[in-house]
Amino acid sequence: MGKSSFLQEFKAFAMKGNVVDMAVGVIIGGAFGKIVSSLVNDVIMPPIGYLINGVNFTDLKYTLPANPLAPEGTEAATIAYGNFLQNTLDFIIVAFCIFLILKVIMRFTRKKEEETATPPTPPAPSKEELLLTEIRDLLKERK
């Protein structure tokens, strides 16, 4: 009986809306990341490379001086700052796209909340307003 109740608890946990929504979000986010990376690598970066005389950002690197203690034939260490620039641009574009998507989603959720919200009740009239209302009604009755 212990195993079946454990499996039932796990099934209940896995089928909760939040867990399923999060899993779908992670899968779609991964696919969206690939699309954005392709956009950056294949569409945005080639014209930028063309403008800076055909430089490919992923080829940009700084080669450190040879280490005198390293054995003969060892390749020099490099700092690949071009890959860093490429990944930074990817991140900025992904973050901007997510910002735009969330902005649209928030706009729709706000509209739904405004439609379902009950209008606020007007504040109770003050004592002066009540007194003035009584005076007005008395004047109307006199006429």
Give 21-35 pLDDT, tens digit per residue.
Answer: 778 888 888 888 888
* Among 76, 88, 80, CA closest to 61: 80
Whole-number pLDDT of residue 96? 84
Query: CB under 8 Å to 57, separation ≥6 — which residues?
Result: 45, 48, 49, 82, 83, 85, 86
Taking the domain 2-119, which CATH number applies? 1.10.1200.120
Q: Which run of H or E residues covers position 75?
A: none
Q: Report which of 65, 60, 64 is spatially closest to residue 81, judged by C-alpha positions.
A: 60
Query: Quick check: helix, strand or coil at residue 112?
Result: helix
pLDDT at 2: 60
Task: Decide: 33 and 41 in contact? Cβ < 8 Å.
Answer: no
Which tokens belong to 14? 């896995």
What is the model's pTM?
0.51
Which amino acid is present at 77?
A: A
The DSSP code for 78 is E
Give pLDDT, residue 100.
Answer: 85
Token pair recorded at residue 115: 């439609």
Q: Which residues of the chain have pLDDT under 50?
A: none
Per-residue model confidence (pLDDT) at position 17:
66
Residues 6+ apart with CB under 8 A from 37: 90
The token pair that represents 55 in the structure block: 């430089």
